[in-house]
Amino acid sequence: MSGARIAVLASGRGSNFEALCTSDLGGAEVVLLATDNPGAEAVVKAERLGIEKAVFDPGTGHGVSRAGVESSIAALLEDRGIDLVCLAGFMRILRGPLLDRFGGRILNIHPSLLPSFPGLDAQARALEYGVKISGCTVHYVDAGTDTGPIVLQAAVPVLGTDTVESLSRRILREEHRIYPLSARLHCEGSILLDGRTVHLPGTEGIPGPFASL
C-alpha cells in the first residue's frame, strides 16, 4: 500500500502524532489530525507541521453531539480516502462507526506491556504494582479496551527511583519508536494476522528486535 494515507486521532499532547508525522513511514504519510478537544496541543502541532486538522467538539453544541463525534469522524476519514487510522491518546472508546468502517485498519498505542494494565493510568498502576519491567504496546483496535491483536511491544526497566513521570518518559521514548514502525509495517502490507496473532514474515526468528532492555 505505497502512498497510504494515515489519519491520527488524538485528544491531548500529540507527541505520538508528531512522531508519526516526522518518521520515515516508507511512502505512507500522515495527512489528517482529528480531535475531540479544541484545546489539544496536537492541534497546535498539526498547524506547525502543515497537516490538515479537524476538531469535533461535543462541548460546543454546534451540531456535534457526544454520540455523533465518532460518526462525523468516520465520515471525514472516508471522504479523505484514509487507509490507516492511528489512535494516539484519543480519550474515547470506539463504539461502532469507526470500527464498522475501518475494522482491521485502526492501530492504538498503549503505555504498558499488554495484557497487563489496560485502560487509564497504566504507568501509575504498573509502578504501584511493583513490576520490574514495563513498556508499550501497539495493537489493532477491537471492541474491547486495549484487547486487540498485538503488533509490536517494547520493554523498559522500572527503576527503584522511578516516579510516574520518569517511567512515563522512558516508555514514551519507546512509543515514538515502535508506533511509526508499526504503521509502516501495516502500510507496507508486512503484517499477517492469524486469529489474534500478528506475524511479521522475515522477522519471526529474531528474538525481540524491537525491545531495548
Catalytic residue annotation? 110
Residues 117-156 that bind ligand GRF (CB under 6 A): 136
Among 6, 9, 10, 34, binds ligand GRF (CB under 6 A): 10
Interface residue with ligand GRF, options 88, 156, 183, 185 (CB under 6 A): 88
| Long-range contacts of the stretch 191-198 (C-beta < 8 A, 24+) | 191/151, 193/104, 193/140, 193/149, 195/149, 196/148, 196/149, 196/150, 197/149, 198/140, 198/149, 198/150, 198/151
Q: Which part of the chain contacts ligand GRF (CB under 6 A), choosing from 11-19, 51-59, 77-85, 154-162?
A: 11-19
CB of 113 to ligand GRF, least distance (A): 12
Binding mask 155-194 for ligand GRF (x = CB under 6 A): -----------------x--x-------------------
Q: Does 97 bind ligand GRF (CB under 6 A)?
A: no
In the complex, what is the shortest distance from the CB of residue 45 to ligand GRF, in angstroms, rounded to a whole number? 9
Tell me how far, at minimum, the Cβ of 167 lies from ligand GRF, in Å: 11
Alpha helices in 31-163 (DSSP H): 41-49, 68-79, 97-102, 122-129
Q: Looking at 94, 109, 151, 181, which residue binds ligand GRF (CB under 6 A)?
A: 109
Round to whole Å and give the CA distance between 52 and 48: 10
Of 166, 148, 144, give the one whose Cα is nearest residue 157: 166
Greatest extent of the chain over all pairs of C-alpha atoms, in Å: 53
Which uninterrupted H or E stretch holds 171?
A: helix 164-187
Footprint of ligand GRF (CB under 6 A): 10, 12-16, 88-89, 109-111, 136, 172, 175
